[in-house]
Every structure is written in C-alpha cells, then in structure tokens.
Structure 1
C-alpha cells in the first residue's frame, strides 16, 4: 500500500515538474499578445522590446512575466527621443491568472524594473514628451471593458534607474541617478499606506550653473495615498541629504488645474553636526566624534499650486548662531560660526524669488572671515550685491577640517571686496551698472603637485574696479624658475558668469625660465594599463597679450639668452610677434602662430637666423637637421630666413614632419668644411680626385630650399673650387634618402702630368680652343650609406678626342702648306707619310696615358 502511495506521489510530482517547465511554452504566446495589446491600446509612441518570457520558478509560487529591453520612443515633436528604457521589466501574478479567458484581465500583484532610463523633456513651447496616452475617448471606453491587465499592485521595486528632467525654457536640468526604490501597499484599495525606501544621487543645474552635484539622498517614508483624490500625505518619514537629517509634514495633491503643495520641513534636531552633514561624507569625515557647540537648523515650507505660470510660495531658512566644531584628531577648531540665509518666494511668481545671505562668518585661530550677499530677480535678470572681507591662513584649514590633500597648503589670503551688478549689464558690457571695488592679496603661498614640484606665490596683489582687475604684482617661483607679472584683466564677471571672453594685457619678466619646471611627467604603462594624455587646447574665451622678457630660457638642451617678444592668446590660437633670442652665438627671431581650432593643431612660423653657428644650429635643432643634414660637416656662420607650416601633435605639440612644408634661404659666412664629419662628403672626397673638399671655399654661398611631403628640394646653386666651376642640385627626404646631381666644369690641365706636358706644347691659341671637360657625380642612397657614381671615363674619352682632333687639324694644315710649296716649285722631302702618322699616334698615346693618371695623381695644390 505504501509503495502505491509513494508511486502515486512520485508520478504527481513528476507531472507537476513537467507542467512547471512546459507552462511557459504553452502560455508564452498568449502573454506576448496581451503585452502587445496593452501597449497598442494605451500608448501613442514607438514601442519595442526584445522578448517576453514566462517563468514559474523566478518568483515561485507566483508566475513571472519578463519583458526584455523595453523601449518607448517619442513621436513628433520629440521624434527619436527615448522616453523610457528598461533592461528588464518583471510582472508577477498568481498562476491562476494564466488560465483566464480572452475577455478577462490578468491581475498584476507586483512589478519591478532594472537598469531603467527615464527622460522627461519640455520644449521651448512648454510641451512635454510624456503625454503619450491614447486620446480617443471611444477607443478608451471600449478598451476599458476588456483590459489585458488589471493593476492590483501590492508591491513594486525599481533598481538602478536614471531619471533626467530638462526644461528648455528655464534651462533647468535635474538628474536623479542610481535610483533604488521599493514600495509596499495594497493598491486595490482606494486609500492605503505606502511604505517606501529610496536611495539616489541628485544633481541640479540652472542656466548652465551647477547647484547640486551627485548629492546623496536617502528617504524612508510612509505615504498616505488617496487614489480617488490623487492626494499623497507624508506620515512617518526620515530623510537624509548627504548626512543632513530632515523630516517632512503635509501633502501633495494632483488636481486638474495643477499640483497643490502644503508642505513643511525641518531638521529634527538643532545640533551643529547637521551643518557638517550637508557636506558629502567623503569630505566631512566621521561626524560621530566631532565636538560641536551652538546650533544649526534648516526649516521651511512650500504652500500653493504649481501650474504653468505659478509656483508654490516657499521659504527656506538656514541658520546658525555662535557655533563651533572641532575634530578630535586635528589641532585647531572653527569658531564663532554665524549663518543667516533665506531663500524666499512670497508671490508665487518665479521672478520674485530672492536669496538673502545676511551673514556668513567664522574664525580659525586668529583669522576672521565675513561675507554677505543678496540675489534678487533670479529668473529674469539676477541682481547681485555681495561683500566679503577677512583673512585666511591656508595652513590652518587642514588643521581644523579634514581636507584630503596630497601635500599641505600654506600662505596668507587677505580680501576686502564688494560688488553689485545685474547679469544683463554684464552681458552687454554696460560698466555703468557694474560696481566692483576692493583688493585681494596672497603671500607665502606654496603648493606641491603630484610630481613633487613646488609652486610658490611669494606675493600676489590685485586691485578690483568696475571694469578690470589690476594685477599690481605677481611674484612666482617654481623649481629654478622665477617670474614677475603685472597687468590688467577685463570682463572678469562676464567670463565667470556668462561664458564671455576674458581680456588681459600683461608684462612678464624673468631672470631664468625653465620650461621643464612647468611640464608634467610622461605617463608610463603600469600593470598593462596606460593613461592617455588629453589633447592640448588653447582656451577659446581668452584674449590676453603678454609682453615677455627673460635673461635665460632653458628648453630641453637649449639655453636661450636675452629672450623678448610679444605673445597673444586669442580665439584658440597663440600668436608670436617679434620674438628674439641670442643662441648658437648668434640671433634668432620668430613670428608666427599656433592654432588648436581644428582637431589637428596647426602652426605657421617665420624664423630669422643671423650669424648663428652652423654646427650648433643644425645639430641641436632636430627639425633643421632633417632639412639640411649635410650641415653637420660645415663650420662657420649662417644667415637664414625660414618659413615653416604644418600640423602639430595634439598632445605633445611637436611638428608632424609628414605635414611640414615651407622654404629656407641661407647665406654661409666664414665657413670651412670637414668632410670627415659627413659620410656623404667623405665618400665624395674619395671618388673625385681633382678637388679637395677641405679647401672648398663656401664663403658668401647662397642657397634656396623648399620642403613639402617629407621631401627637401635644393634649387641648383654654383660654387667654385680654384678655377673649377661646380653646380649642385637635387633633393633628399626626411627619411635621409637622397638624389643629387653635382656637375663639375674641369679644365683639361687637371688631367694628369703627361697630359699637362702635351697640352703645354700647344700654342696659346691652340690651348684656348680646348673646352673644359664636364664631369657629373650622382649621389643616391641615404646620408648614412651613400652611393656615388660619376661619368669621368666618358670625360677622359672626350678629352682624348679633342686633343687628337686638334693635332689632326694641325697636321692637315701642315700638309696643305707643304702641297702649296710643292706647287710653287719647292719639292719637299719624301717624308710626308711619316710626319702625318707618327705625330697623331704619339699624341693619342700621350693623351691616353695622361688621362689614365687623372685619378692616381695627388690632389691639385
């Protein structure tokens, strides 16, 4: 009997398990059709989802419907904007709901959403993107009789939602990120208590000004909900803004004409720890051990109706009187803290909102700081009236408050400032309505960066007026660099508040300026991870002129002396005007610009070189070494004009040689050549015996070069070695490849001893008829491994031919004369055959022997 019972139970369990697995396949299409029907009947938008799944295990004993990657995309006028997206939406219901007929609605008991995004947008006309419900009343009435789903919610959960609100008219943007929220209550009843838990991070921007950034929010609240009257009442609740506790009372009710608010809020206690709680925990530290005196309270109300034209009246008060705090592990305290601030709207019109910071003061040690400010007409044309004065010893800040600094600060800041202005006057540069006065000084300021470099502001003194800041003195040192600056800044309020351009004119002097003192270390690869350096961008809103001079500027391995010139930073570009420096035993001037307007920075530069040392210039400046690598073998002075343009590396701001183009004109002065310093010249010296490159005179040589696409073209130029004319032209690449033609116009007297003797027997008239012999040398390969070929053998043949032809013409003339004598009765001896052949053969032999000795003789003296 027992065996039969166990067998029956086993069969039942087996059937049940099979049914649990099979049910999703049996009901999946039905659920999917119901989801599609519900969406189509209620939503006027583009809706898409990847799949719909049914599981009897995920939320057992309830059935779970999962909608994967659900997206709701707006139609016009918000075409293409995402209203809602969720990686996963889950609906839970009783299993028996699956067996209802086609006309019966399935009751949803709970739902959850994961990784959702909600975007609520208002355009410039005040139209919202969330109004996507189907408007047809007849359709809604017919659908109400056969809804696919009935929402009898008992609980719900939202995991990791990002909610964004943006109003194009007011430029208000609110982001609620990392939103996690749960709610429990019986929505089948018209009145219920909903128990909620919420955590989130809130950010708020108004008109491009950030007021909150990732403020941590925790709220545990019981809300009394009246569904029939759309009324939501705060009951027992506890809120934390960062670590500031708040309690709410009152209600919010949604009515046809708008949302009615009747809310009050306040801090449940008056401890000054409440103030420290406003500061994010990462910066405020552990508040449990902080000793405080005095009070701090936040209280306020919001009462009225929120409509398209009105807001609730409200009053937010933040107050503290004679408070202090001290962290137990820090030596100093902050005392005599007074805060008296109100944010008020008494009419319900946003334009009438105003802020009164009647007093803010505190003391650290003997240093007292006071400030006050009033802001009116916030929404239309904010009117600001502010004053501050006081002294802060920066080294005391970290001794009284747990500021996390890699290295301690030091220095004394003193300020006594007052300003009054409205934003429209700032925008229009109407300085008559802008008042600013006072001064600020910093002395003994020191800061050590992550690379352990110390930056010291020995003295900074600025005077403020309506139109400008007068920087009377700025004395800065870092590393081995000293800088003194004075000048003026204009439109600082427009730059600070309205994203307008900042104008300035400064004079800078330095005894020694090391560029390396302002450079950061190159990032290295650590644990297979590399950090990328951002591209350097010249500020768009800066328009500053700097007249600079320095006794010494050290850049890499270059020591520049007596540097002076004008630097203009404007419109994402730096312009250099009349920059001068003594270097390479000469003078270099520079004019040009560098621009970062485009994705790839560009530059255009005109350089003037006067009496610079050739060897130093072309060995220490890599770019010029690429343009004229042969200069490494030349000693002496150079005058040159160089025009350069091309792209720059966006991160290193160094020239991209592949894009470099321009031209160079050079004139050599007092030069000598050491061919042993150049592989090319050394090999040329070995192959061409009739000149000695060491004795080549290049004084006053002028040459023109152009370069583009990595190629340098040398315009043919003439030089002279004794009475040998030389013409040089060709090109080489930045990759060191080359192709040059060198043409020598060689007098015949340099063709060997025997040839010289033979030529010397010619009459001057005969010798003058001998033309110079052209010899061509072709240089190819590259500068480190050159290839040289010449046509000297052809030149030898040509010379021999010319000498033979000369003797032949001479003998013909002699024969003609002899024949004339014979005709005239003077018969010559029978030696004509001998004299016509022997000289010809002898001349040819002598010439050939002389030519062959051309490359074996010593250098021409």
Structure 2
C-alpha cells in the first residue's frame, strides 16, 4: 500500500511539474510566432508587454494572458494609437481540442482604448490590413479545410473607452466606461445568448454643437442565435437611455453582403416625463421633483436589407407628445399645452427617399402660444423645405417656469417667419424663388449674471427676405457700454443649408466702450474656474464669415487709458480680423493703426500690425500700459512727448500670448526732448561718477531706429544732445528685461580724475572733456553700470606725448645742455 501511494504520489508530482514546466518550453516560441504573424498581416506597429501561458492558473484549462497590447499607426498616423489594451486574458479547455473542438471558456478585454479617426482627405486609421498580394504566403501541411471548431462560452469587456473623430464632418463622438458581458454556447447550431452592457457616458458633437451630452445607456437582452443561418432574434430585453426605457424585438440576419433587418423599437413608458430624461441636465435640472402631464408615443421600425449607406431598408419613426406640461414645484408658472408630432419615413432604397415632417411643435408660456413646423424632402439630391414659426415668447415667464439659478432674463420675443424652397434655387442663386418672409423682434431684453455686466437690449428688429436679413434696429447696453447696430446680412440661406460663407455689412457706433468691465468679469470667472481651465483660450475666427463693420467709438476706457474718437473699418473674413484705417486720439496725441489677427492656420495663429503715433505723452503712456513699465521702467521717470511708427508681428500660443522668440518688427521713435529724473540707471551713473547732476538728464533731438527679432529689441546707434554735448547710444534689450547698452558720452576731467589716477600727475584736470563708454547691463529693474576708459586712455596718452615733446624741446634750448651734447658727440667744423 505504501509502495502504491509512493508511486501514485510520484506520478501526480511528475504531472504537476510537467504542467508547470511545459509552458516554459513553448511560451517564447508561441509569442514570437504570434508577433511575427500579426505584424505580417497589418500596416502598423503591434507590440505588447507581458505574455503569459499557464496550465496551472485555471487547471484543467490552459490560460493565455497578454498585457500592454498596443497598435500604433504609421505614415499619416505616425505615433497615433489606434488600440491600447491593458490586459487580454483567455481560458480554454485544452483537453477538448483532442475531440476536434476547442472550448474557450472565457475571453476578457480589460480597459481597452480605441481611437478611430478619419482625416479630411477621408483616410482612416483603422485600415491597417495589408492587401492580399502584400501578405507573405505561409506554407501549410494540409491545404484542405479543417473540421476543427472553436466554441466560445463567455466574452467580457471592462471599462472600454472608444472615441471617433471624423474631420470630413467635423464630428466627434466618445463612449466612456463601456462594460459588456456576452455568454452562451456560441458553437451550438441554435443557442440562447445573454447580453448585458452599460455605458457611463455617450457624447456626440458636430460642428461644435453637442447633440448628446453625458447620456447613460444600458442594455440587457436575451438573444436566440441561429448560428447555422446567422440569424439573431431578440427576445426579452431592456434598453435604457438615461431614464427612458425602450424595448425592441425582431431579428438581424447576416448576409454575404449586408444585413437583413426586421426590428421594432418602442418606449415602454408612455408618459411625457420619460422623454424629458433625454434632455441634458444643463437645460432641465432636478427632474426628480418636476411635475409633468401628457402622454408619449415613441416608435421606430425597420425592415429590409441594409447593404451600405446608399442602399437602406425601409424605416419609419414616430414621436408624439399630447397635452404635455412641465411644472416645477417652487416656481409660479408652467409650460403648458405641449404638443409635438414628428414623423420620419423612408420606403427603402436611397437615403434621398427620406421624408422628415415636424407637423406640429406647439407650447404655451404665460398665455402666449408658440408654433413651429418643418417638412424636409429629398435631402440628398435637392433638399426641399417648407416650414415656419409664429408666436410670442415672454422670457420673464420662461424664468418663472424653468429654474435659472446662475442668471436672470427678461424680454419679449415676437417671431413670424415662413420658409418655402429648395436647394437648387439656392445653388443657382435664384433667391427670389425661395419664399422667406417675416420678422423677428426683441423688446425690453435684460440679462444679468454673477460677475458679468448687465446686458439690456431696448429694441431689436430683423426682417427676412430671400436674399438677406435686414438688421433694422439694434440698441444695446452692456454695463456702462452702449452699442448701436444696423445693416444687412446676406447669403444666409447658403450658410444655413450648404455651410457657405455668410456676408454682412454693418454700421456700428458706441458712445462709450468700457473694456475694464468685461475684464473684471472675465478675471472673476477665470478665478472661479482656475482649477479646471487655462487663463485664456485661443479664439478661432470662423472661415465662413465675411462681415465688414464700419465702427465709431466716442470713448474707449481700457485699464488706465482713455481713447477718444476711434473710427475705422473692421473686417472679419477667411479666418482673419483685419483692422483698416483705424484712427484714435489718446495720451494727448493721435494714433493710426492697421493690421490683422489671423487664425487661418489654427496651429500657427499670429498678429501683424502697423502703428503710427504722433505727439504721445510718455508719462501717460508708461502709466497706462503695464507692459511699458515691465520692459522700460525708466519711462515712468520721464517727461516729454514722442512720435513713433513701427511694425509688430508675432505668433500666438494657445492662451493668445505672444511667442517671444517669434516677435519681429521695428520702427522709429522721435522726440524733441525727453527729461528723465530719479531713474535707477541715472542714479547708478551718479553714484559711479560721484556727481549729483547725473540724477537728472534732458535728452534732446532723439531719432531712434530699432528692430525686434530673436527675443530682443535691437537699437541702432543714435546720437542725442545731453548736458549740451552729443552722446551716442547703441545696444539691445531683451523681452526678458535684460539690458546690454553702450553709451558713449563726454565727461569732464574732474568727474573722472579719480578713475584716471593711474596716469599719475601727468593727467591734467583742465581742458576738453574726455570720451567715456558707460556700459549698461543687468535688467530694466536692476541695471548694472560700469565704465570703459579705453577711449579716455588714448586721448590722455596723446596729451602726454605732446607734453613730453615740449619738455625735450625746452631742455635742448638750454646752453649748458647744448655744450654738453656737442662735447660728447663732437662739434661739426665749418667748411
């Protein structure tokens, strides 16, 4: 018995060792073959981190694992990750393979991230499979088809994130935290499958408009699968979209080309409140306490064969709301008599057969009815549209019916507009055949929100015609600022239906524009949102807008600056804001400017301006612009007037700040006289030369040329009259406030006598001034001065040479010296 137990124990131990050791022999080879085969099949870089193979982990099943799987694009999609999988796990009954059918017990995809992208040229990043001719042929031992089958029992996805970006349609969609569990014997001819799935958030936006925002979706469905004919019949199921419960039944059949569909979907709840669950919470808050009335009908069916987007099955959808009402318990008014009837149908075939009919859209607010309708046919070949809206909306009553905690609103909108035509008329610019008529009026509008100036529109009137919208009147105040607009907007129909350029010509005038009010509100808003957002975000100028504003401002207040009588044209076109012929009075002088803010290439936005200023007060300039104080603190210690003309160009970063290294430009600055006193530079000079007179300086006849490049302001050599003498200045100043100037200035001999003491008693303190180079370094706020006496040395050296020559001549005139020399060298005899 003991011998039997020993033998049995030894066999078991041997099997366990074999189970643990065997994968080690094959793991590397299997991993290498898999990686080679995958990379042979695709045009992408496929890699993974850890690969595991075990016969122990899920014994008696074999376990295969993989972590850090990534699929990264090449060429146009270089370094663009199509797929990242945190972990892949597979458990299979290895013994079942001996019977010719491998049973896969479970497949897990943990935290997969999929990023699908369509470029503007319609290239897609998921088209990574090589063409048939590109794939290397693999020799097989048996070319005949195999009877070997694979059965899958369970498939699970955890925490998936899927994003889709389509640049051809300016579409962005994202699915966050997708969970999916599919179970059942997927190898049987006929089987029952169980599908459980949930999505935490679905977001869809097109052309910057959000159509779905943080929508929750879940599905629990039982599916009868006919695996032989590939027909899947939906039985008991629940589809939840937010709190809207939908049920559907029917079947989907997979064909060689396309799918055979026979499905019906309908809302299980027939109350109006269930429809409100689809409305984003930012529009309707606290639905838990909302009181509603009315019934809902929501149904959709599809039947036929779907091949592609040009060959559709028949489908129809109906949305009806009867006698709906929304009433918040804490508010005095309600939205009543809500009646909606929308029908969409297509008999099958081309999507051009689709007819969308909003037969009725009606509600009453504060005893004021509002109605709208729209019929849309042949949307692909030649969209035909007919509809309109008529009614009054009292915005004050809207505030009394829907919670508006963050803002307050008042005013009355009166609209009566009709529309009838087709796209062919618009394409041929046959606007007279398009019937667009009516008006829209806004009276006594008020909008107030925390941290922002109050907005009031006393009156606004727009009248519609097929060719244009006339802005007859628009009188508005934003805080203390006022705006008066009038003009015409053209090409609005092609803009609405074909995304063409909308054009406008508007006259604008303001008595006062107080920019400080806007900045205060903006700073407060940014302070509240500092944890979530950057200080400022780049504003992209739309490329399909062509507006010309002829503007006139009586007064503009910006920071400490007051600007008067501003006039000129502002053009918004092709992604640019162009200022042309702008003139203004400021800082006791005048300035003209022209230029542009350009976002045509949103990755490289830039500004490019030309300025021409005359008789500007330098003290007021320094006290009105913080950037002047930052770059040139000496300006605050200066008095006088200057004129300047210069160019400025720079790229902008994502926060609309200049990219310092990209700044280029330059110009000229002139002034008859500028007086500077008590500046750090002059004080340092006075201390260096030990002369108090240098603490106050008056520079006359200034004519300065400068250029801006490589992050610096480079000043060309210029002369100026200071203390009755001419000085020469040259050097550069960095936008980081660094200084590097040389000032060539005449200095009296007495002022530098101490510095020239190295020459001994031979240096005379009387005579002409000595030229000295004053070296200015450091920063604008902390300048460092030193003297370069090279020129002074040369000048004094020449004086000493002259003095020595004079001394020699005087010595030679002495008779005793002459006789001694003659005796030493011998006197010449006369002939």
After the TM superposition, which residues 476-555 of structure 1 pair with which residues of structure 2 at under 5 Å, given as runs?
Answer: 476-519=476-519, 520-521=522-523, 523=526, 531=534, 533-555=536-558
Partner of 2:183: 184
CA distance in 2, matches of 1:703, 1:43: 69
The 1:582/1:255 distance shift into structure 2, 3 A limit, reads closer
Does the 8 Å CA contact 2:461/2:474 hold for their aligned counterparts? yes
Q: Match for residue 451 of structure 1?
A: 451
- Report Cα offsets for 1:166-203 as digits up to 9, x if no partner: 99999999766543222333334312222222223556
Distance 1:666 1:74, change over 3 A: closer
Within 5 Å, which residues of 2 pair with 1:163-178?
178=177
Structure 1 match to 2:379: 378
Q: Quote the Cα distance in structure 2 between the aligned partners of 1:184 and 1:82.
A: 30
Three-state SS of the structure 2 residue aligned to 1:90 is: strand
CA contact (8 A) 1:263 1:303 kept: yes
The residue number in structure 1 matching 2:104 is 108
Conservation of the 8 A alpha-carbon contact between 1:83 and 1:130: no
Mapped to 2, the partners of 1:79 and 1:585 lie a distance apart of: 57
Query: In structure 2, how many angstroms separate the alpha carbons of the residues matched to 1:430 and 1:719?
Result: 71
Partner of 1:612: 616
Matching residue of 1:836: none
Matches within 5 A, 1:164-563: 178-200=177-199, 212=212, 215-280=215-280, 290-308=290-308, 309-401=310-402, 405-423=405-423, 431-432=431-432, 434-449=434-449, 451-519=451-519, 520-521=522-523, 523=526, 531=534, 533-563=536-566
Asked whether the 8 Å contact 1:234–1:248 carries over to 2, the reply is yes
112 and 624 in structure 1: CA distance in 2 versus 1, 3 angstrom threshold: closer
Structure 1 residues 641 and 71: CA distance shift in structure 2, 3 A:
closer
Residue 780 (1) aligns with residue 775 (2): yes
- The CA deviation string for residues 373-397 of structure 1, in whole angstroms up to 9 with x for no partner, is 1111223443333311222233443
In structure 2, list runs of 5 or more residues that go unmatched: 750-766, 816-831
- Deviations along 1:432-462, one digit per CA (max 9) or x if unpaired, are 5544332223334444456354334443332
More displaced stretch, 469-478 vs 275-284: 275-284
2:682 touches 2:696 (CA, 8 Å); kept in 1? no
Return the offset for 1:346: 1.5
Q: 2:411 and 2:373 mapped to 1: Cα distance?
A: 24
3-state SS in 2 of match to 1:279: coil
**Alignment map for 1:675-690 (pairs within 5 Å):** 675=677, 679-680=681-682, 683=685
User: 1: distance between equivalents of 2:728 and 2:334?
Assistant: 81
Aligned residue pairs total 774
Matched, 1:569 2:572: yes
CA deviation vs aligned residue, 1:556-578 (integer Å, no higher than 9, x gap):
11122222222223333333223
8 Å contact from structure 2 (residues 678, 696) kept in 1? no
C-alpha distance 227-171 of structure 1, shift in aligned 2 (>3 A)? farther
Structure 2 counterpart SS, 1:278 = coil
Deviation per CA, 1:302-333: give whole Å up to 9, x if none: 11112245221111111122232334344332
Cα drift, residue 110 of structure 1: 3.4
C-alpha spacing 1:803/1:259, structure 2 compared with 1 (3 Å):
closer
Q: Deviations over 1:28-86 (max 9, x none)?
A: 65588779989999998347655543456765775543344556799999999988764
Relative to 1, partners in 2 of residues 1:607 and 1:116: Cα closer, same or farther, differing over 3 Å?
A: closer
TM-score normalised per structure 1: 0.74
3-state SS of 2:543 partner: coil
Which residue is equivalent to 2:52? 53
> How far off is 1:339 after superposition?
1.0
Give yes or no for contact 1:444–1:457 (8 Å, CA) kept in 2.
Answer: yes
Following TM superposition, by how much is the alpha carbon of 1:15 offset from its aligned partner in structure 2, in angstroms?
A: 9.4
Give the C-alpha shift of residue 356 in structure 1.
0.5
1:690-713 CA-to-partner distances (Å, cap 9, x unmatched) read 999989794xx3523223342442
Cα 1:268–1:725, aligned 2, differ >3 Å: closer, same or farther?
Answer: closer
TM-score of the pair, normalised by structure 2? 0.76
Give the Å deviation of 1:338.
1.0
Counterparts of 1:259 and 1:567, CA distance in 2: 56
Question: CA 1:687–1:171 in structure 2 vs 1: closer, same or farther (change >3 Å)?
Answer: closer
On the 8 A contact 1:93/1:107 being kept in 2, the answer is: yes
- Is residue 2:663 matched to residue 1:659? yes
Distance (whole Å) between structure 1 residues aligned to residue 63 and residue 577 of structure 2:
64
2:360·2:372 contact (CA, 8 Å) conserved in 1? Answer: yes
1:91 matched residue in structure 2:
90
Query: In the alignment, what sits opposite 1:641?
Result: 645
> Contact between 2:51 and 2:65, CA under 8 Å: does it hold in 1?
yes
* Residues 344, 14 of structure 1: alpha-carbon distance in 2 compared, 3 angstrom cutoff: farther
Summarize the alignment of residues 796-807 of structure 1 with structure 2, pairs less than 5 Å apart: none
Is contact 1:53–1:65 with CA below 8 Å preserved after alignment?
A: yes
Match of 2:731 in 1: 731
The residue aligned with 1:769 is none
Q: How far apart, CA to CA, are the structure 2 residues paired with 1:526 and 1:78?
A: 34
Decide whether aligned partners of structure 1 residues 306 and 77 sit closer, same or farther in structure 2, where only a CA change above 3 A counts.
farther
Aligned to 2:760: none
Larger Rg computed on CA atoms: 1
719 and 690 in structure 1: CA distance in 2 versus 1, 3 angstrom threshold: farther
2:588 aligned with 1:585? yes
SS at match of 1:328: coil
CA drift at 1:27 = 3.8
Give the secondary-structure state (helix, strand or coil) at the position aligned to 2:19: helix
The corresponding residue for 1:823 is none
User: Are 1:370 and 1:388, in contact at CA under 8 Å, matched by a contact in 2?
Assistant: yes
Deviation string 1:336-388 (CA, Å, 9 cap, x unpaired) is 11111111002422211110111111112223221101111223443333311
How far residue 466 of structure 1 moved from its aligned partner, in angstroms, is: 2.3
User: How far off is 1:259 after superposition?
Assistant: 1.9
Work out the CA distance in 1 between the residues paired with 2:173 and 2:786: 72
Match of 1:23 in 2: 19
CA distance in structure 1 between the partners assigned to 2:610 and 2:206 by the alignment: 47
Query: Counterparts of 1:60 and 1:648 in 2: how far apart (Å)?
Result: 62
Partners of 1:194 and 1:470 in 2: how far apart? 62
- Aligned partners of 2:504 and 2:205: how far apart in 1? 30
Pair 1:252–1:743, CA change in 2 (3 A): same
CA distance in 1, matches of 2:331, 2:222: 41
Query: Unaligned stretches of 5+ in structure 1?
Result: 747-771, 810-814, 816-831, 834-861
Q: Which moved more, 1:513-522 or 1:636-645?
A: 636-645
Whole-Å Cα distance in 2 between the matches of residues 549 and 678 of structure 1?
Answer: 42
